[in-house]
Structure 1
């Protein structure tokens, strides 16, 4: 549900404001984690706490009427007039008008069937397969690390409810870090830095447990790790949305989270080991692998993003590996 809302929200946002929208949307998850800890503390009976979470989901139905559908998706489904209505609504919000040829463009998009091949579209080019594979690995490792901390909090903290609240609090600066560094230094190296920081935090927890140091030091270390993993997953989500064209965005997100869900089935076996240090040694190694892998993803900041499978097959070619601050592509700069 979170991925679907974020995907459509970023489709309706221009390139310059995608990081801001991503930050605002993801900060709600941090608030939800903190609320989950406080509600579970106030309602220790699991039936009441789960019922509260279920009832909270019904509040979403009151906001659907304000959330527009993706115009490109509507056009691809033959609903051109609805797509045009959404485009006009966006133009009115931005204080502009829709050009007279907008309907013709929408009809052209709707008639195009070359990009509608479903799941098999992922294998349409080596570039797309490579990017998707790297993003699948990064999502799986970051989510595994994130939820490992949630499960391990009962073994590392005297008060597990406050431990979860502290981890939720650490998510907020993580999302703001994604917004700042992704906009200033680009997506690629910011994603690498997040994974390296998560590996360093895992190593720190491993050392603290080795020296039998607990209490506030462990809580601060878990907050640092939660901060870095949240920044990492936020960056990977942003890269996934930008590196996949609209026709493949939701399919790629489903593949990433499906594989991540399978990997998270190992959570109890990983976290609940007799030796509490081993899980963090494993997570440290996995985060280092992610840092190395995501460094080969193309930079998508300030670039004209791929719209078709043909675009994504060549996207990122010619970009130097040892580049720092992203520079606008010629097409982006000239509009």
Structure 2
């Protein structure tokens, strides 16, 4: 996911992330239908996992991220990949671009000096980054808990549990593409806050809709699916937004940290049906609603990244959302302030 976002420019970053999430949703929708046709778990596992061995060859096919190579000082490798990309697309690199990569090998940059420090020390040194490392895991835990919690609880809805599961997954696809239409128009924060709060409102509304009365069955199902659609949009948007909040050199590590913390929500999600059975039928939905409200409020405290190139250093990441003179131009540099690479 990270490498794919770094392959493309800001114009295509959101579409790339949403497309991958859509493919994931299609796969999970098919999983429900395959499980319906082949319920025996041993055969199901073989059907699901054997094709994955094909992707081992991606190690030799997929190119490395140019941004990551530059951040590690591997300028020649980055230049080789850019040349190959230009050749495949029938384009050519500017002469000054090649010269920039040649000259930069001898330049000692501030980013290279900071790479000698431990990441933990750098995070505590830069307070805005530290704050993001505190609040972003809360977003991830909340979104993953609601995402998987609503998916797992869907089999408890009356009707065919396999079809219920597939429908709950399929509704994610419009959620993803609604997000892609809005992320580059109203901003990352607006999409996340709205998505969290609509999901929370749906959970509260679901509690008050009597599922025992036939006339309210379709209403409760609709509210349930709207909530799942919104949290799906939030979940895929978080990948894009979180990646944009952290610098290239540490983006993979910090995004992995957020994703790892988010798995706490994934661990708790399977416990929700048991919690409903032992304590209160609608307690999981109350928990989802509270988490959605809190997470939406915390998103308001983070900077907007709409239109900002990916930051490449802690200093650039700190400046996200600030309107300092020349800051936009400063962000466009990859390794040093006065030089940049482009493909014409």
TM class by shorter chain equals 0.7 to 0.9
Tell me the residue number matched to 1:163. Answer: 164
For 2:98 and 2:267, locate their aligned partners in 1 and report how far apart those are by CA, in whole Å.
52
Cα deviation, 1:63-112, whole Å, max 9, x if unaligned, reads: 44442111233345554432221122233355231522242366358982
Q: Does 1:294 align with 2:307?
A: no
For 1:10 and 1:122, locate their aligned partners in 2 and report how far apart those are by CA, in whole Å.
23
Of structures 1 and 2, the larger Rg is shown by 2
Secondary structure of residue in 1 paired with 2:11:
helix
Q: 2:245 aligns with which of 243, 246, 249?
A: 243
TM-score by length of 2: 0.84
Tell me the residue number matched to 2:283. Answer: 278
Tell me the residue number matched to 2:336. Answer: none
Tell me the residue number matched to 1:141. Answer: 142
Native 8 Å contact 1:302 1:332 kept in 2: no
Distance 1:304 1:48, change over 3 A: same
Secondary structure of residue in 1 paired with 2:171:
helix
Q: Does 1:103 align with 2:101?
A: yes
Instruction: Tell me how large the CA RMSD over aligned residues is.
Output: 2.7
Displacement of 1:153 in angstroms is: 1.6
The count of corresponding residues between Structure 1 and Structure 2 is 322
Cα deviation, 1:103-130, whole Å, max 9, x if unaligned, reads: 2366358982413545413323111111
Distance 1:172 1:266, change over 3 A: same
Tell me the residue number matched to 1:323. Answer: none
Distance 1:12 1:243, change over 3 A: same
Deviates more, 1:209-218 or 1:257-266: 209-218
Tell me the residue number matched to 2:192. Answer: 191
Distance 1:329 1:48, change over 3 A: same
For 1:269 and 1:220, locate their aligned partners in 2 and report how far apart those are by CA, in whole Å.
24
Cα deviation, 1:127-184, whole Å, max 9, x if unaligned, reads: 1111232221111101100100121122224211111111121111111111110011
Tell me the residue number matched to 1:54. Answer: 49
Native 8 Å contact 1:240 1:253 kept in 2: yes
List gaps (5 residues or longer) in structure 1: 1-5, 320-327
Tell me the residue number matched to 2:335. Answer: none
TM-score by length of 1: 0.86
Secondary structure of residue in 2 paired with 1:101:
helix
Native 8 Å contact 1:115 1:309 kept in 2: no
Tell me the residue number matched to 2:320. Answer: 315
For 2:38 and 2:190, locate their aligned partners in 1 and report how far apart those are by CA, in whole Å.
42
Cα deviation, 1:13-51, whole Å, max 9, x if unaligned, reads: 111111111121111111111011111111101122122
Native 8 Å contact 2:153 2:273 kept in 1: yes
Displacement of 1:289 in angstroms is: 0.7
Displacement of 1:291 in angstroms is: 0.9
Q: Does 1:112 align with 2:104?
A: no
Native 8 Å contact 2:71 2:312 kept in 1: no
List gaps (5 residues or longer) in structure 2: 333-339
Tell me the residue number matched to 1:33. Answer: 28
For 1:106 and 1:330, locate their aligned partners in 2 and report how far apart those are by CA, in whole Å.
19
For 1:209 and 1:49, locate their aligned partners in 2 and report how far apart those are by CA, in whole Å.
36
